């Protein structure tokens, strides 16, 4: 009885000494190596908007803003061998940020700016994907970094990519990149598949039925109203989720022309 109490006391002292040593080492690590808990940078200027800044030849600083459901800037173009300083924040909820085929992997957290460095030597198109579930169109939250020596404004009708170049109808590229940039394609497909909003395929000229029981033919006026006042008519079976996206009258005209081609 007496002996076992003594052993217990020794074990207690040993455990306490071990604990103090661990604590002491943690404190030592903080001061000796300058380690600290990660600090948040608030999402203020200059990280509150998407931007590409050329700091030096082949050295770019990119400010990414993630939001439901796109990345700003949606497309970044750099020459091969470029080093990217990537700063990432979120305008709404927590998003993921992964540059496919690279080690660039961040979280976009509202109120914080996260950073990573990325060097891209190989030519091609690198998809930027959101890998944190962020709502109904999470799977459509995609951006791209194009590593190419081609000038930023490629001639209309040509799209450079890893798979080579393909010819598009003149003007189509401009409209699709407009739709991509404004985030429209996060919710509206162009191939007939159902996303958050009605598909663009076959939309023009269609008889649309609305939540309030009314119906209308999709024409120029309807498209314009849907863009400028998205809550005016809610298509039956869909939610009133569409935000007001700033577009000019000329852009609306281009979008309408494009929609007419999507039979
Ligand atoms: Cu953003 Cu998932």
User: For ligand 1, atom 1, which residue shows the shortest CA distance?
Assistant: 95
Which atom of ligand 1 sits closest to the CA of residue 135?
2
Distance 257 CA to ligand 1 centre (A): 30
Higher pLDDT, 31 or 138: 138
pLDDT at 104: 95
> What angle, 0 to 180 degrees and rounded to 10, lies between the N-to-C axes of helices 172-181 and 249-261?
110
Distance 204 CA to ligand 1 centre (A): 30
Q: What percent of the chain has pLDDT over 90?
A: 35
Distance 6 CA to ligand 1 centre (A): 59
Rounded to whole angstroms, the Cα distance separating 165 from 176 reads: 16
Mean pLDDT of 208-220: 90
Which atom of ligand 1 sits closest to the CA of residue 108?
1
Q: What does the chain come to in residues? A: 263
| DSSP bridge partners of 70 | 67
pLDDT band with cut points at 50, 70 and 90 for residue 164: very low
Which atom of ligand 1 sits closest to the CA of residue 95?
1
Cα torsion through 61, 120, 123, 79, rounded to 10: 30
Distance 79 CA to ligand 1 centre (A): 28
Q: Where are the alpha helices (DSSP H) in the chain?
A: 2-32, 172-181, 220-228, 249-261
Higher pLDDT, 31 or 219: 219
Q: Is the dihedral of CA 217, 223, 228, 234 positive or negative?
A: positive
pLDDT at 113: 92
> Does position 168 have pLDDT exceeding 50, yes or no?
no
Cβ atoms of 130 and 96 within 8 Å: the answer is yes
Least confident of 110-124, 128-142, 194-208, 242-256: 242-256
Distance 26 CA to ligand 1 centre (A): 36
Rounded to whole angstroms, the Cα distance separating 104 from 131 reads: 12
Distance 47 CA to ligand 1 centre (A): 19
For ligand 1, residues with CB inside 6 Å are: 69, 95-96, 130, 132-134, 138, 141
Which atom of ligand 1 sits closest to the CA of residue 133?
2
Which atom of ligand 1 sits closest to the CA of residue 132?
2
Rounded to whole angstroms, the Cα distance separating 146 from 77 reads: 5
211 contact partners, CB below 8 Å, separation of at least 6: 234, 235, 236, 238
pLDDT at 1: 58
């Amino acid at each position: 009885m007496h002996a076992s109490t003594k052993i217990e006391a020794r074990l207690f002292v040993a455990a306490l000494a071990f604990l103090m040593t661990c604590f002491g080492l943690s404190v030592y690590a903080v001061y000796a190596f300058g380690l600290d808990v990660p600090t948040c940078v608030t999402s203020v200027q200059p990280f509150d908007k998407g931007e590409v800044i050329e700091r030096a030849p082949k050295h770019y600083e990119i400010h990414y803003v993630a939001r439901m459901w796109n990345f700003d800037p949606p497309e970044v173009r750099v020459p091969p061998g470029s080093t990217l300083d990537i700063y990432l924040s979120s305008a709404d909820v927590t998003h993921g940020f992964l540059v496919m085929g690279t080690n660039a992997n961040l979280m976009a957290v509202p109120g914080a700016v996260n950073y990573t460095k990325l060097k891209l030597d190989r030519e091609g198109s690198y998809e930027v994907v959101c890998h944190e579930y962020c709502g109904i169109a999470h799977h459509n939250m995609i951006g791209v970094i194009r590593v190419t020596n081609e000038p930023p404004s490629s001639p209309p009708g040509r799209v450079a990519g890893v798979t080579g170049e393909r010819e598009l109808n003149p003007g189509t590229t401009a409209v699709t990149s407009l739709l991509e940039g404004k985030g429209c394609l996060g919710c509206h497909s162009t191939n007939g598949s159902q996303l958050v909003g009605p598909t663009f395929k076959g939309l023009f000229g269609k008889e649309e039925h609305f939540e309030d029981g009314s119906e209308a033919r999709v024409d120029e006026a309807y498209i314009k109203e849907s863009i400028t006042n998205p809550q005016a008519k809610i298509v039956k079976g869909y939610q009133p989720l569409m935000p007001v996206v700033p577009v000019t009258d000329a852009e609306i005209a281009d979008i309408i022309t494009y929609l007419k081609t999507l039979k």
